[in-house]
Structure 1
Amino acid sequence: MTESQEFDQVLFDRRGPGGRLGVITLNRPKQLNALTYAMIRAIARQLDDWRDDDTLEQIVLVGAGDRGLCAGGDIAEIRSDIVEGDGGITADFLADEYRLDASTSDYPKPYIAIMDGLTFGGGVGLSGHSTRRIVTERSQISMPETAIGFTPDIGGTWLLSRMPGQTGLHTALTSARLSAGDAIATGWADHFVPRDDLDALLTALETEPADGAIARFAQEPPVAPILAERAWIDDAYSAATASEIVARLDELGETHPGAKDAAVKIRRASPTAIAATLELVRRNREASELRAAIDLEYRVGMRLVFAHDFLEGVRALVVDKDKSPKWQPATLAEVDQERIRLLFARQDAFEIDWRQS
């Protein structure tokens, strides 16, 4: 049996005998399924409905098109609200998105995320906190927020802070893309299934319990290239400040090409976002659980979305696409550490009320 309920940007299907499998399809393939606020609200409502539906046994998340699951949140939508409005929609957008993402971590029914192709930012939020995360040979997973003057969010710093050694800081500061092997080895995914087997897996999920079906199709994951780079990564990113990290990368770059490339990427990103991300990932190493990490992300993020670098970064990379953002300040040496400290100061307007979830 297949029942379909459509919403412009996301599709909800019931498949299998009695509609036992719920399928969520992110449906903006031309935009690489970037999440709008309307999509987030629709998914949250559907998950609430399915939570109490005894005929539905498990859920799978997929992306339309052949490029990937999701490129992240629709940051142009957020920028427009701040430039043309008062930012109130943005505050609700982020809070509701974070509540939704956190809910997938303890959803009472199996929630299976197919992270095929590109899975960035908000796409990680919808997929990365479940316990059944599937990657393929095409998977590329990234938190590229520093490139637009923002910090990793949607619980991303919870995942980043728990990667081996200093690989999480490297991934966060350089917007590195994790391969399937990287993702499984460092805690971002659970199972490797070749892309050619995904259709068969989805068919199996219509009639079989999630864990058994996944086990039938899962294969040994590829190697994890990031682990082969750990020696220089751990050396460089153990430095105290972002400026010192880049200085070490410059030195290590004489013998390690990856270190040289990392230094270039960090210098290209927003200096303020780099400094804030360094502090955020380090602080969230001590977070007691996912929601606590998200609380801190929201507090910092709500300050950064109103700041110059986020608006400028989105303008340069998404709106005008000249790829030449003018950061303020322009270098890591000019970043005011007191300003970074104030990003983390508690303020009621920048806290999530989890009771609304």
Structure 2
Amino acid sequence: MTDEVLIRTEGSAGFLSLNRPKALHALTVDMVHAMTAALIEWRDDPAIHTVIVDHAEGRGFCAGGDIAYLRQSVLDDAGERGLKFFHDEYQLNHLMFEYHNPIVSFVDGIVMGGGVGVSQPARFRVATEHTRFAMPETGIGLFPDVGGSWYLSRLPGRIGQFLVLTGARLDGAECLWSGLATHYLPSDALAEAKERIAHGHEPGGVLSALSVTPPHPRIEDNATQIARHFASDRLEDAIASLEADDSVWAAKELAAVRAKSPLSSKVALRQLADGARCQSFAEAMAMEYRIVSRILTRPDFAEGVRAVIVDKDNAPKWDPATPEAVPDSLIDAIFAALPADKEWKPL
């Protein structure tokens, strides 16, 4: 076990509290395994009616996966340990998605990448005034995984495509408006909500009773522009559409899109298009595992982490360097089926 996740029961609830405050609770291999083991144990425990996922002390909910660990794996063992991390993480994501008892995630802070993977599967997803949601993976040469192909492809008005191409952050009100959150509570009401749920009250009723009206969701004001500029599944079309718009908003989003890895951006668009057609969450996760098995060791991931996290010069040299230089054959190869014994399977 690990102290990076605080696992306990109270009343009829099991608690999974992420506990890496210095790393904004970013997920490690040990955390993934501990959460999986607890969920499997509670699945057969008639005394546990609800699972609550939150974070312990410190800021944030979960800033993602352990990027330093993944990059070191690429440098040390051609990504073998990193790929094992993704394999097991995706099994946890699927276990949560299919869980028979309700899961409630309290996303009171930053939630990115791997944090999305352990909060979006929850039946009840609580945002607050502190919530900051993003899927910024294309900025480090990865793609919006942990179920992004399922969740983001089903958001209204091309919001998902906007998020993956720009890395934009949504606050709690915007998460509620877009459907990423089911409830909006003030942060000072969370302790009471958890206590009521733990002592047998139905989660939906508790959350509805304690919900408040959020501020105006700013993204709603740009919904029409988002739907228009990000309507295409071709990266070049999105860029051309933004280039033709002389507004300040379009210029800002264009700069954000251009800063991302062209390969990762094209992969993300294809991923969401294919994800929208997936018939099950397991099918989407199997697709994402195929993608990560190829893209993890592509040059853009190590370079993106170097530029954003290691050297922090924010000047990555992407390979290929432009959208036009990314061949369709490369995208097809990234999505191709793996050998049968290498394909991802749920627990």
Q: Describe the superposition over 1:248-289 as per-residue Cα deviations: whole angstroms up to 9, x where unpaired.
A: 11112x13x222111101111111111111111112111112
- How far residue 9 of structure 1 moved from its aligned partner, in angstroms, is 0.9
Higher relative contact order (CA 8 A, sep 6+): 2
Is 1:229 the equivalent of 2:222? yes
Task: Write the distance in 2 (CA, Å) between the matches of 1:210 and 1:231.
Answer: 34
Q: 1:317 aligns with which of 305, 308, 324?
A: 308
Is 1:184 the equivalent of 2:176? yes
Query: 1:339 aligns to what?
Result: 330
Q: 2:204 aligns with which of 204, 211, 215?
A: 211
- How far residue 135 of structure 1 moved from its aligned partner, in angstroms, is 0.4
Q: 1:266 aligns with which of 257, 261, 266?
A: 257
Q: Describe the superposition over 1:84-107 as per-residue Cα deviations: whole angstroms up to 9, x where unpaired.
A: 114222222111111111111221
Query: 2:272 aligns to what?
Result: 281
Is 1:155 the equivalent of 2:133? no
- How far residue 335 of structure 1 moved from its aligned partner, in angstroms, is 1.7
- How far residue 350 of structure 1 moved from its aligned partner, in angstroms, is 5.2
Q: Describe the superposition over 1:125-147 as per-residue Cα deviations: whole angstroms up to 9, x where unpaired.
A: 00101111100011111111000
Query: 2:7 aligns to what?
Result: 12
Task: Write the distance in 2 (CA, Å) between the matches of 1:231 and 1:280.
Answer: 23
Task: Write the distance in 1 (CA, Å) between the matches of 2:214 and 2:114.
Answer: 24
3-state secondary structure, aligned to 1:205? helix
Task: Write the distance in 2 (CA, Å) between the matches of 1:317 and 1:210.
Answer: 39
3-state secondary structure, aligned to 2:157? coil
Q: 2:231 aligns with which of 234, 238, 242?
A: 238
Task: Write the distance in 1 (CA, Å) between the matches of 2:157 and 2:342.
Answer: 31
Q: 2:158 aligns with which of 159, 163, 166?
A: 166
TM-score, structure 1 normalization: 0.92
- How far residue 209 of structure 1 moved from its aligned partner, in angstroms, is 2.8
Task: Write the distance in 2 (CA, Å) between the matches of 1:197 and 1:291.
Answer: 35
Task: Write the distance in 1 (CA, Å) between the matches of 2:213 and 2:148.
Answer: 25
Task: Write the distance in 2 (CA, Å) between the matches of 1:145 and 1:166.
Answer: 18
Larger CA deviation: 40-49 vs 274-283: 274-283
1:191–1:221 Cα contact (<8 Å) kept = no
- How far residue 210 of structure 1 moved from its aligned partner, in angstroms, is 1.9
Cα 1:239/1:203, change in 2 over 3 Å: closer
3-state secondary structure, aligned to 1:7? coil
Query: 1:306 aligns to what?
Result: 297
- How far residue 11 of structure 1 moved from its aligned partner, in angstroms, is 0.7
Task: Write the distance in 2 (CA, Å) between the matches of 1:186 and 1:297.
Answer: 23
Task: Write the distance in 2 (CA, Å) between the matches of 1:351 and 1:186.
Answer: 33
**Amino acid of the residue matched to residue 260 of structure 1?**
A
Cα 1:29/1:240, change in 2 over 3 Å: closer
Q: 1:129 aligns with which of 121, 133, 145?
A: 121
2:111–2:134 Cα contact (<8 Å) kept = yes
- How far residue 231 of structure 1 moved from its aligned partner, in angstroms, is 1.7
Larger CA deviation: 31-40 vs 336-345: 336-345
Q: Describe the superposition over 1:277-329 as per-residue Cα deviations: whole angstroms up to 9, x where unpaired.
A: 11111121111122212221111121100100011111222233332211112
Task: Write the distance in 2 (CA, Å) between the matches of 1:302 and 1:205.
Answer: 40
Task: Write the distance in 2 (CA, Å) between the matches of 1:345 and 1:240.
Answer: 19
Identical residues among aligned pairs (%): 34
3-state secondary structure, aligned to 2:244? helix
Aligned residue-pair number: 345
1:25–1:61 Cα contact (<8 Å) kept = yes
- How far residue 114 of structure 1 moved from its aligned partner, in angstroms, is 0.3
Structure 1: runs of 5+ lacking an equivalent: 1-5
Larger CA deviation: 135-144 vs 344-353: 344-353
Larger CA deviation: 214-223 vs 155-164: 214-223
2:24–2:58 Cα contact (<8 Å) kept = no
2:153–2:161 Cα contact (<8 Å) kept = yes
Task: Write the distance in 1 (CA, Å) between the matches of 2:221 and 2:343.
Answer: 39
3-state secondary structure, aligned to 1:92? helix
TM-score, structure 2 normalization: 0.95
Is 1:84 the equivalent of 2:76? yes
2:286–2:345 Cα contact (<8 Å) kept = no
2:233–2:270 Cα contact (<8 Å) kept = no
